[in-house]
Amino acid sequence: MAQFQRRRHHYYNRLRLVIPLISAVSGVLLILFAFLSFLAPTPLDSDQLRHRLLQHSPTNKVDENDAVGVPKFRVPKRGMKSDRDIWTSKNSKFYRGCSNASSKFPKVEAVTHTNRYLAIATSGGLNQQRTGITDAVVAARILNATLVIPKLDQKSFWKDSSNFSEIFDVDQFISYLSKDVKIIKQLPRKGKKKISMPTMRVPRKCSERCYHNRVLPVLLKRHAVQLTKFDYRLANKLDTDLQKLRCRVNYHALKFTDPILEMGEKLVHRMRLKSKHYIALHLRFEPDMLAFSGCYYGGGDKEKKELGAIRRRWKTLHISNPDKERRHGKCPLTPEEVGLMLRALGYGSDVHIYVASGEVYGGEETLAPLKALFPNFYSKETIATKEELEPFSSFSSRMAALDFIVCDESDVFVTNNNGNMAKILAGRRRYFGHKPTIRPNAKKLYRLFLSKSNMTWEAFAAGVRTNQRGFMGEPNEVRPGRGEFHENPSTCICEDSQAKAKKDSGPRKYGKGYDAPRKDDVIIDDQNADDEPEWPDTDDYDLNVSLEKGLFNGTVLDYDGASSDYGELEEMLSD
């Protein structure tokens, strides 16, 4: 017991010595903590420092949204990985262009009447006029008439004084079509006088029966007639041989003159020297385009004032609802939105882009985000000298022809609005091997762009790829007969049955006739069903009833059945 008391007294004495030591250490620590608290920045300073780190960090390793749980939207430099080749169209090898006439299509000598002459005055810019020229040949064939080389529009918005032979190879045009339609360079004289020629207009989408009912009686009486403002004046659906004639004109007979071809090929060659592949982008973000679309891009009163002044030039334009237009996919994407779409589809920052565009609204400030995403950014003005472009620069149609060539030869063509150039090139690229042609599904992408700050990049990119199915230029994207024929020349595209049979003869998991869908398979659907109604042929409806129901795509019919201002202006500005 005494031993226990001695041991307890010993521990008690040691504890008395340790307690002052613990107190001293605790005091020192408290003083040090107070000193550090005094030196530490306020919460506001800390947030500011964090923001500076975010701004100057090249990798964005610190994310200011992490603290509040907002997803990270970081655009990668590389494109998203895909199990498809981003430079080719899947299954394109199973399809080819085919436009030869059938054995049932009579030779030109058997059908052409010697006393019938059809002259055409086209309307609009280069690509709108191209549709008119193509349809003029078919109209002459319907009427069994000799076609006079079409006159190009020299007075409209573009003020281009070029004639047919200064843009197109007129001899190639006449000779290639010599078995289909007789074509002459100018109307013959009757003695010393020119044959008098009345002018008239036909309704838009005029069918074979429409031409027989409206134009043929005039030809029989006067022997010559000129059809004015000739653009989209031929029905979308025609007899198969007439559709194939359209393709022979558009894809074979219409060839640019040698000076235009040589300069265009030079531009293509220079793009190929820079990279194995390149994208051609028809940006269509010019002030007149934006003004006509009625869209608004957040530029405040300055934008509204500037675009409003342009809109007032055309009295026929109605006041639109910008939000509604954008929701319905009627607004071109901004350059930044185009860039984000392409990155999501798999195109990295190393991709070379050729931009076909006029004056971009907002200039370099508007283009800066697109250039940041794709630094290898070119136009004809940057890859050709001023001296090289001088023979073309005063003529808008010739400059447009150079862009047409570079876009046509590109590995991927991207259009930012479904205008005349977009439609012509989409059809041409389908005919010559289904080269990828991307048209933004603006109606659905609009929702993604609105909410992108609230999602990760991966979710955004997946949404873009899903929404773009059916808008990538793949075979069978659009059902045969749907859309404009110049955009979807389905009658002139044939399936290579031997190659397809060889593919189908391979081993199958699910049996013959079943083709299992893959993740990135194109959805065979009508991409135009929601926003581009198909207008009826004019001879299927009474014109007065059609006028009352508004069946002519926004046009107003004149007393002679011709359409005026609004519809033509829409086609003109979409060129």
Domain membership of residue 98 (yes or no) is no
Residue 235 lies in a domain: yes
Tokens of 260: 């235009």
Separation CA 88–CA 84 (nearest Å): 8
Residue stretches of the chain with pLDDT short of 50: 4, 38-67, 508-569, 572
Alpha-carbon distances, residue 426 vs 93, 498, 574 (angstroms):
17, 26, 15
3 state DSSP class of 151: strand
> Residue 262 belongs to what H/E stretch?
helix 258-274
- One domain for residues 250 and 263: no
Look-up: residue for tokens 């389908």?
A: 430
**Residues 247 and 144 placed together within one structural domain of the fold:** yes
Alpha helices in 57-145 (DSSP H): 108-111, 126-142
Pick the last residue of a domain from 477, 495, 513: 495
Q: Clarify whether residues 226 and 373 are in a common domain.
A: no
Residue 133 sits in a domain whose CATH number is 3.40.50.11340
Q: Per the domain annotation, does 327 fall within a domain?
A: no
Largest CA distance in the chain: 154
Q: CB neighbours (10 Å) of residue 70?
A: 14
3-state helix, strand, coil in the chain (%, to 5): 45, 10, 45
Q: Does 296 reside within a domain?
A: no
Residue 337's nearest CA partner among 413, 284, 292 is: 284
Q: Strand 95-97 vs strand 493-495: parallel, antiparallel, or unpaired?
A: antiparallel
Q: Is 458 inside a domain boundary?
A: yes
**Does residue 276 share a domain with residue 189?**
no
Residue 249 and residue 230 share a domain:
yes
Whether 345 and 477 map to the same domain: the answer is yes
Q: What is the CATH number of the domain that holds 489?
A: 3.40.50
Task: Enumerate residues 6+ apart whose C-beta is below 8 A from 224.
Answer: 116, 117, 118, 119, 187, 195, 196, 197, 198
Q: Is the dihedral of CA 327, 331, 332, 333 positive or negative?
A: negative
CA-derived radius of gyration, the chain: 33
Residue 515 forms part of a structural domain: no
Domain final residue pick, 448, 471, 495: 495
> Which helix (H) or strand (E) element contains residue 114?
none
**What is the number of other CB atoms lying within 10 angstroms of the CB of residue 77?**
9
CB burial string 5-20: b at 16+ within 10 A, e below: eeeeeeeeeeeeeeee
Last-in-domain residue among 438, 464, 495: 495
pTM for the structure as a whole? 0.77
Answer whether residue 514 is part of any domain: no
Assess whether 387 and 425 both reside in one domain: yes
Alpha-helix runs per DSSP H in 184-239: 208-214, 216-222
How confident is the model at residue 325, as a pLDDT?
80
Q: Are residues 134 and 274 in the same domain?
A: no
Specify whether 235 is located in the same domain as 349: no
Domain that holds residue 342: 259-285+332-495
**Domain total in the chain:** 2
User: What pLDDT score does 534 carry?
Assistant: 33
Same domain, 244 and 342: no
Nearest to 331 by CA among 458, 424, 478, 450: 450
208 and 223: one domain? yes
238 lies in the same domain as 273: no
Residue 225 backbone dihedrals phi, psi, to 5 degrees: -150, 145
pLDDT digits (tens, 9 = 90+) for 293-307: 888 888 888 888 888
In a domain, 500, yes or no: no
